[in-house]
Amino acid sequence: MFFSSDNAGPVHPQIMERIVADNTGHQMPYGNDTIMPEVRDRLRDIFEAPEAAVYLVATGTAANVLALACYTQPWQTIFCSKVAHVEQDECNAPEFYTGAAKLTLIETDSKLDPAKLEAAIKGQKPGNVHGAQPGPVSITQVTERGSVYSLDELRALTAVAKAHDLPVHLDGARFANALVALDCTPAEMTWKCGVDVVSFGGTKNGCMGVEAVIFFDPAKAWEFELRRKRGAHLFSKHRYLSSQMAGYLADDLWLKMARQANDNAARLAEGMRKAGATFLHAPQANMIFASWPRAIHRKLHEAGARYYLSGGGLDGPDDEPIGARLVCDWSLTRDDVDSFLSHF
């Protein structure tokens, strides 16, 4: 009953098998392996973007900050939610990799609002030499609160950005979970909505450690290659990144795993709702934010359930409501969910 993080789950056997199969003989280093063209062509096909520039890195932070750096000057600001991963969980890496560009945080408990984004952009006073100039807009899909932007919501945000001639970055650490939730195509959720670059996650969804950065404008390719090398994120034994991504994409495994995670989260949320839990955010993908009495938290913990608490610990009044975050990864089963609910 491990619901702490989708980073904590195992690597899918199909991906491990692909790594083992590719662990023979010699391959050219630094992305020149024979597997990378397969990955590049497959992602171009998946995104309906035959000219897209495709690169691999090992972490989501690297994917986000290197992508943003290609669109950000040091005197600019990046617009994002105040709860975005690039703000709360990347240790100022965006500022570091962009040469000290700042972040402009937009007030929200989950999703960005177009009107607030518009106000934030205008608030920078473009053209005023004394202030930071507007830069990229970064959107997280799935959000850090488990919400999923609809296609209309994405279009509304990118329309604001494009009206000010600003590029749009999509942090897709849980890209597959969002895609399954929306039942749309990758193209519809990215470049057809006005997204310029996407961080396409694999690590949280069954890979060992690999993310793709996909530029729909191939003119950014060379700059990314330089930034990746200078930023110490160009793997010499790159084939092991390529191999993971190849296994991930084969036979739509990436979608199957995301669907499994989302379905289990929906089952878990419904059971919790029936048992009286209060949801702090509407669960739409594979994350649940909810609150229930401490006594039940204690009971679950004693039964072996693991998840993050917020706003309190296990010690205190039994009836005090305590918040929690639960995340379903691809490897959890219906039995895991039902076992959790049996102690709720």
Domains, the chain: 13-253 (3.40.640.10), 258-342 (3.90.1150.10)
Task: Kindly report, residue by residue over 230-250, the tens digit of the pLDDT.
Answer: 999 999 999 999 999 999 999
Q: What percentage of the chain's residues is helix, strand, coil (to nearest 5)? A: 45, 20, 40
pLDDT at 125 > cutoff 90: no
- In this structure, how many other beta carbons lie within 10 angstroms of the beta carbon of residue 298? 16
pLDDT at 118: 97
d(CA 241, CA 328): 24
Task: Kindly report, residue by residue over 262-304, the tens digit of the pLDDT.
Answer: 999 999 999 999 999 999 999 999 999 999 999 999 999 999 9
Average pLDDT over residues 258-262: 99
**Residue 11 DSSP label:** P
Residue 100's pLDDT band (cuts 50, 70, 90): confident
Residue 109's pLDDT band (cuts 50, 70, 90): confident
List, as one string, the DSSP characters of 43-74: HHHHTT-TT-EEEEES-HHHHHHHHHHTT--T
pLDDT at 302: 97
pTM of full prediction above 0.95:
yes
